[in-house]
Structure 1
């Protein structure tokens, strides 16, 4: 699955392009998108961001979507610039960094840097999504407001997974990691996930996504015995290369009938396993997504998002 379309809502708000969509009746009730329409630009992005920050209503902005900042394949995301803007954006609560389609930049090419300054500059931030993982890093930290954290990638570095595991997010209720494949930097193992699955530093987590993984079977087996699962409402192991081996291990572990939703779409399960999951969980009231069954090409299986 290539990411071919821009999102139209974020953090529950409709997205409005700046400056084309301004003014609006209430700047706090839309998500403002800032980007550069030129593939190898950069100047337009800065002009638009500066323009937004200079608006008399900038202090009311709650939600910001950062698209192409220009040459995203060889220029790191403008983290410092966004961090410096915190004084102009005192109400910012939700940030999407790198909302680009594959035509603008393949997800594995989107360049990032240390995003620690974003956490530090916006202590009231509740929602953060980062797309792309090339060069991405952050230091383990404590952030007491964050409720939703998502890393979308075709290959997530183990350092990011460990940084999440070593951080304290006492209010986090949604965590989503696209683990990806080794060819694009996805070198995390189930050992790197162990502290997340233990759940000690994520006391309010109710929604966990460990997605797009070429180690999906290993992840499923680890999840089967993970302490955090007992308090989850949603579990998402979709978009990866889950086979009967992983699904059987998941079903053989702790009960999952307390879940509200189990997402396994884009999988490599055989019909008997699909029927078993449906019987054991679907009939127990769990909303199970088993769509997008895939067939292996010989012994090769692919995740939904890689390059």
Structure 2
């Protein structure tokens, strides 16, 4: 299993969890607002999100904030994420320098990924037209609802990095991304997860991305953590988008020999700088063939975390992140 942990660095900045006032009423001296990525955490001190947010606005020069991570937003019992989005959107004008946002930086010990339900995040990207990086961590039901991850197609001229970490990514979110107009997008990453947790994305949902016509500046594509990793690999093998990529990840999923054979038979991958296939179900002969091909071409390949399984039982294969 891949650990879901708090990043130490976000958008090239060290992450600092906002210190909250103690009994003396002061949180101490803070660094320059633009020198760190600010992380808000309600759970550690059991404070309501609105109180933590207002403290943040009061003690940090938000006009200089470049990166923001929303950590656990509930102080005791788990609460919906929608009010947090509404608060961020309503105060978006206070963050003219914000370039990176993480919704939501929560690790497994705080809440299992499959329980980490989101909401409609479209208002966030619409309220922050200069945002360059958006990471979204959380799941949602296959049928859109008030507490499921939702996204409508949108246009954003500045967004360069878009990342979804999920144990069950709904297909409608993937389709919304594919229908969006993102001319600056360079890095796109999906963790598809398990159908058990709402991960119902199909290869057909990926067609706009794989066509190469949708995101003309795309240089990294991560189609990861999927139960249909062999099918995705087969589609990637002939996908026009691959020719312009610098790095490709098909990691964390159920990639087996059938998917590896499709990659070997498909278009060349030797122009890539990096190929990430870690957490896989390849037999030793296929591992050797891929390693040899990449070594000859100077491609850095990650084939770590080979999983033991019964080749006669496809159901024995599992993704790295689900629950």
TM range (shorter): over 0.9
For the residue of structure 1 that corresponds to 2:135, the secondary structure is strand
Change (3 A) 1:67 1:22: farther
Structure 1 distance, partners of 2:31, 2:58, is 18
Structure 2 distance, partners of 1:234, 1:24, is 38
Q: Contact conserved, 1:154 with 1:305, CA < 8 A, in 2? A: yes
Structure 2 distance, partners of 1:105, 1:127, is 24
Structure 2 distance, partners of 1:2, 1:256, is 26
Structure 2 distance, partners of 1:103, 1:137, is 25
Counterpart check, 1:47 vs 2:60: no
Counterpart check, 1:257 vs 2:270: yes
Counterpart check, 1:87 vs 2:66: no
RMSD between superposed Cα atoms in Å: 1.7
Structure 1 distance, partners of 2:88, 2:205, is 30
Counterpart check, 1:7 vs 2:10: no
- Over residues 241-287 of structure 1, what are the superposed CA-to-partner deviations in whole Å (9 max), with x where a residue is unaligned? 10000011011100000000000000000110000001112221000
Structure 1 distance, partners of 2:135, 2:177, is 13
Structure 2 distance, partners of 1:32, 1:165, is 30
Q: What pairs up with 1:110-125 in 2 under 5 angstroms? A: 110-125=116-131
1:2 is displaced (CA, Å) by 4.9
1:301 is displaced (CA, Å) by 0.7
Change (3 A) 1:72 1:145: farther
| Matching residue of 1:226 | 239
For the residue of structure 1 that corresponds to 2:222, the secondary structure is strand
Change (3 A) 1:73 1:227: farther
1:207 is displaced (CA, Å) by 0.2
Q: What pairs up with 1:190-229 in 2 under 5 angstroms? A: 190-229=203-242
Structure 2 distance, partners of 1:152, 1:56, is 29
Q: Contact conserved, 1:266 with 1:304, CA < 8 A, in 2? A: yes
Structure 2 residues not aligned, in runs of 5+: 21-26, 141-147
- Over residues 168-223 of structure 1, what are the superposed CA-to-partner deviations in whole Å (9 max), with x where a residue is unaligned? 10000000000111001100100000111002120000000000000000000000
- Equivalent pairs counted in the alignment come to 305
Q: Contact conserved, 2:153 with 2:177, CA < 8 A, in 1? A: yes
TM-score normalised by the chain length of structure 1: 0.95
For the residue of structure 2 that corresponds to 1:16, the secondary structure is strand
TM-score normalised by the chain length of structure 2: 0.91
